Amino acid sequence: MERIPILKMGPVLLVSIQVDMHDQLALTLQDDLTDRIVTTRARGVLIDISSLEVVDSFIGRMLGNIAAMSRVLDAETVVVGMRPAVAITLVELGMSLSGVRTALNVERAMEMLKAATSDGHPTADGQPSAGEDTDARRPD
C-alpha cells in the first residue's frame, strides 16, 4: 500500500506531502504519524504542504486532527508552505484551522519547533527531553 514517507530529524518528524492524496492515503498518514510520534517520542511534527495545489475540507480537517492528536502526545505540529491560492480558498471554505500553527518556510518552522521542544520538559520515563540532541551538544 502506498504511504507518505515520514522522516525523523532529531526530535522532529518531517512529512513532505508531494502528491494529490486520496482520502485513504490521508487517513493512513494520520495513523502513521500518530504511531511514529509515540514510538520515536517525537516532540515536533513538521508537515510541508508547499507542493499541494489543493487543500479541501478533508485534508484541512486531517491537518487539524494531526495537530490536535500530536498535542495530546506532547508534540507540537507546524504546517509549512501553504500556497496563497490555497489559503484564500480555505478561508472561503470557512476553515480557520485555528488549532494549527503555520510557517512560511521550513527554516521558520524549525525555529518555532526548537523553541517548543527544547523547553527541558522531561518525558514520561524521567529522561531529559528528546529535544536535546545528544550528538551535537551546543556549548551554552
Partner 1 sequence: MPVARTEKLPIQSSEDVVRIRQAVRVLAVASGFTLVDQTKFVTAASELARNTLIHGGGGTVELESLTEGRRRGIRLTFVDQGPGIADVQQALRDGFTTGNGLGLGLGGAKRLSNEFDLHSQPGAGTTVRITRWT
Partner 2 sequence: MSPDQPSRIAQFLEQHDKELLLAWVEHQRQSVASRRDLIDEGELREQSQQFLRLLREAAALGGNDVAGPRWEAVRELLRTLSESRARLGFSPSETALFVFSLKAPLFGLLRQYLGTDARVLAEETVNVTGLLDNLGLYTTEVYQKSREAIIASQSQEMLELSTPVVQLWDGILGLPLIGTLDSARTQVVMENLLQRIVDTGARIAVIDITGVPTVDTLVAQHLLKTVAAARLMGADCIISGIRPQIAQTVVHLGLDLTTVVTKATLADAFAVALQRVGLSVVRSAAPR
Report how far residue 25's alpha carbon sits from residue 3's, in angstroms, rounded to the nearest whole number: 7
> Do residues 45 and 38 lie in contact, with contact meaning Cβ atoms separated by under 8 Å?
no
Q: Is 57 helix (H, G, I), strand (E, B) or coil?
A: helix
From 47, 62, 90, 130, residue interacting with partner 2 (rule: CB under 8 A): 90
**Is residue 93 within the footprint of partner 1 (CB under 8 A)?**
yes
38 binds, among partner 2, partner 1, none (CB under 5 to 8 A by kind): none
**Is residue 88 within the footprint of partner 1 (CB under 8 A)?**
yes
**Is residue 104 within the footprint of partner 2 (CB under 8 A)?**
yes
- Residue partners of 63: CB distance under 8 A and separation at least 6: 47, 49, 55, 79, 97, 100
**Interface ranges with partner 2 (CB under 8 A):** 80, 82-84, 87-88, 90-92, 96-97, 102-105, 108
